[in-house]
Amino acid sequence: MTTYNERRDQLVLNSSIMVQVLLGNTPGDLEFVQLKPRPASAETWEALGAQWHVRGLRHAGSIGLVDGAPQLVLREPLGTNQVEALAVAFAAYIGCLVKSAMTSHNFAAEIERAEVAELERMYAMPSDYRHVN
């Protein structure tokens, strides 16, 4: 049986877009923290850190877009309604990313920048992670 970390690492390697899923204590309280194509800024993490205990945030898993299909790796068991809510929220998130990129008048440059950043990230990894069969 593979661990959560192993499944998450595989999702990192295979996904073109990926977010970390944070859930709060209140029903419906969720945050997506972008990991790919561009990791969230230090300011984003700092802002979340200030809310962490107040909202009772916890890392519940990760969602990535792999070959155009969403894949979910959970750190904790979630109910069917929670998983469906995550799917709907992730679809809306992807829609916002695409709309933002297409209206920025710099879509091709953004794609190129994301591809270069991904290659740099992969080459910075230890060699045993890069050679996945």
pLDDT of residue 101: 67
CB atoms within 10 A of CB 126: 6
Full pLDDT tens readout for the chain, 133 residues: 889 999 999 998 899 889 999 998 888 888 899 888 888 888 888 888 888 888 888 999 999 999 888 999 999 999 998 899 899 999 988 888 877 766 666 666 666 777 777 677 666 766 554 444 3
Q: Which of 53, 51, 62, 43 is nearest to 5 (CA)?
A: 62
Measured from the Cβ of residue 39, the count of other Cβ atoms closer than 10 Å reads: 15
**What pLDDT, on the 0 to 100 scale, is given for residue 48?**
83
- Provide the token pair at 86: 């995550």
Q: Residue 60 has what pLDDT?
A: 93
d(CA 33, CA 44): 8
For residue 120, which of 36, 61, 62, 6 has the smallest C-alpha distance? Answer: 36
